[in-house]
Amino acid sequence: MTDELDDMGRTREDRWASLLRDANAGGRASYVQFLNDIAPVLRGIIAARCGRPKEDCEDILQNVLIAIHEKRHTWRDGEPVGPWAYAIARYKTVDAMRLSMRRPTVSYDGSELNVADEASHDPTAAADLDRLLGQLDATSALIVRQIRLEGRTAEEVGRTLGMTPGAVRVALHRALAKLSALAVADQTEQSGKARE
Amino acid sequence: MNTDDLIKSLGSELTPLPRGYLTRQIATGLLAGLVGTSVLFFAFWGVRSDLVGIFGDLALFAKTVLPLVLACLALFWLHATARPAGRSGAARLIWSIPLALILLVAMTLVTTPGDAWPMALRGKSIVTCLISIPVLSVPVLIGLLAALRRGAPEHPALCGAVAGLGAGATAAAVYSVYCIENSPLFYASWYSLAVLAVAGCGGILGYFFLRW
């Protein structure tokens, strides 16, 4: 990845640093601006590295953004922001590719859950979903059920759980990613059994 | 979920960060580990009675101080490996430790008659040393690894190995005030072996437990 060599690049680095510094002090507007600012750059890095369909890259980008959020304390004021964020993007991209090499690519964004719900004439589908949800922790399963199956909003669910809507959305995002992994693992297992 | 929404959610989840959060986590882990190691040490090992001699003898002094310096360098290096794109000069300075050991060994080889070398190398407590240092390093290694779960190492195995190096070196420094061996030939070989073994274990543990 080319680091900031030109003049514009330098000012960009400075802007990111001051936004992130502000964010770490609790400035939400700066934080959102920082993430919006850096997301296209990260998207480029991810696309160049993963060479997979656009929606997969977008999934990785979202994972990277969550990782940046969770690990924002690993940036030290005074160190460049760009290389820090790029390193996180690289790590998460490699991680995603390593996982996908082990498993066939199945994109899973939660819409499948609605299908399973409607296909109630096929009891195994519902039972399967229950079983998969049962492998999540209770809160995550509850969030997936209420938002994806019952169509409630993150605000409503957040109120009952005592979480902020933002936290609910992030938890939902993570739960869906986990479900996707579980579903794929499940499929591989089943096809393995079928072969025997 | 689309990315803009995610960014908004993350924004609404934002809480201010305490200053030096990661540094404090690592320091806390280290401190907790040190308490554990000290308890173990005073319960089962204890300080050798003629420790005062340590300041009069370079080889004896180095036996404690070199691992101590190594532990400090490893901790600085550790702090860098725990952060994406983190850099530290300590990574390069760490080579000064094997260099110092080689010098010490060379000096010893010159000043000791050749037929005394095998005796000095074997000492009387190879097994004790090879068991004690790894055992004493366990609390520190656990403390560091627990703290590093909050980090974001680009190379989890390397990060774990550096944590192992720090923990092993700390344990070696502690053990050195019990150990009755005085020859650099002894500790340059067996202490190093024990510390490297701990670093290796740290690397394996890091590979599995420091992913994020």
DSSP B58-91: HHHHHHHHHHHHHHHHHHHHHHHHTSTT---THH
pLDDT at B8 over 60: yes
Q: What is the mean pLDDT of residues B59-80?
A: 95
Q: Chain B 144-183, CB below 8 Å of chain A: which residues?
A: 150-152, 154
pLDDT at A130 over 50: yes
B56 touches chain A (CB under 8 A): no
Contacts 24+ apart (CB under 8 A), A177-181: A177/A59, A177/A63, A178/A136, A178/A140, A179/A108, A179/A110, A179/A132, A179/A133, A179/A136, A179/A144, A180/A106, A180/A107, A180/A108, A181/A99, A181/A103
Nearest to A68 by CA among A21, A46, A35: A35
- Is A91–B151 a contact, with Cβ atoms under 8 angstroms apart? no
User: If you average pLDDT over every residue of chain B, what do you get?
Assistant: 93
What ipTM was assigned to the predicted interfaces of this complex? 0.87
Task: Give the number of other CB atoms < 10 A from CB of residue A128.
Answer: 15
B212 touches chain A (CB under 8 A): yes
B83 touches chain A (CB under 8 A): yes
pLDDT at B27 over 90: yes
pLDDT-based confidence at B51, cuts 50/70/90?
A: confident
CA distance B91 to B81: 9
Helix, strand or coil, per DSSP, at residue A52: coil
**Mutate: best of A91, A93, A163, A174, partner B, most B CBs <10 A:** A91
Condensed to tens digits (0 to 9), the pLDDT of residues B108-135 reads 999 988 888 988 899 889 999 999 999 9
pLDDT at A74 over 90: yes
Two tokens, residue A164:
């902020």
**Nearest chain B CA: its distance from A15 CA (Å):** 18
- Is A79–B12 a contact, with Cβ atoms under 8 angstroms apart? no
Contacts of B11 in chain A (CB under 8 A): 28-29, 31-32, 35, 166
Could you tell me which residue, A53 or B89, shows the higher pLDDT? B89
Condensed to tens digits (0 to 9), the pLDDT of residues B164-195 reads 999 999 999 999 999 988 899 999 999 999 99
pLDDT at B106 over 90: yes
Nearest to B198 by CA among B179, B170, B174, B177: B170
pLDDT computed for residue A121 by the predictor? 45
**Mutate: best of B2, B5, B9, B76, partner A, most A CBs <10 A:** B9
pLDDT at A113 over 70: no
pLDDT computed for residue A129 by the predictor? 76
Helix, strand or coil, per DSSP, at residue B124: coil
Burial A95-104 (b: 16+ CB within 10 A, else e): bbbeebeeee
Q: Considering chain A, what percentage of its residues have pLDDT values greater than 90? A: 30
Considering only the beta carbons, identify the residue of A28, A73, A80 that sits closest to B22.
A73
Query: E strand or H helix at A98, and its extent?
Result: helix A81-102
The answer to whether the CB of B54 falls within 8 A of the CB of B64 is: yes
- Is B9–A165 a contact, with Cβ atoms under 8 angstroms apart? yes
CA distance B195 to B192: 5
**Nearest chain B CA: its distance from A191 CA (Å):** 28
Q: What is the mean pLDDT of residues B81-101?
A: 93
B80 touches chain A (CB under 8 A): no
Task: Give the number of other CB atoms < 10 A from CB of residue B180.
Answer: 11
Q: What is the DSSP letter of B154?
A: S
Condensed to tens digits (0 to 9), the pLDDT of residues B70-80 reads 999 999 999 99
Size of interface A-B (CB pairs under 8 A): 107
pLDDT computed for residue A194 by the predictor? 60
**CB neighbours of A32 closer than 8 A, spacing ≥ 6?**
B7, B8, B10, B11
pLDDT at A176 over 90: no
**Mutate: best of A56, A66, A71, A90, partner B, most B CBs <10 A:** A71
pLDDT at A73 over 90: yes
Q: Considering chain B, what percentage of its residues have pLDDT values greater than 90? A: 73
Q: pTM value?
A: 0.77
pLDDT computed for residue B55 by the predictor? 74
pLDDT-based confidence at A109, cuts 50/70/90?
A: low
pLDDT at A95 over 50: yes
Considering only the beta carbons, identify the residue of A67, A88, A165 that sits closest to B12.
A165
Condensed to tens digits (0 to 9), the pLDDT of residues B200-209 reads 999 999 999 9
pLDDT computed for residue A1 by the predictor? 43
pLDDT-based confidence at A148, cuts 50/70/90?
A: confident
pLDDT at A123 over 50: no
Q: What is the mean pLDDT of residues A69-77?
A: 93
pLDDT at B156 over 70: yes
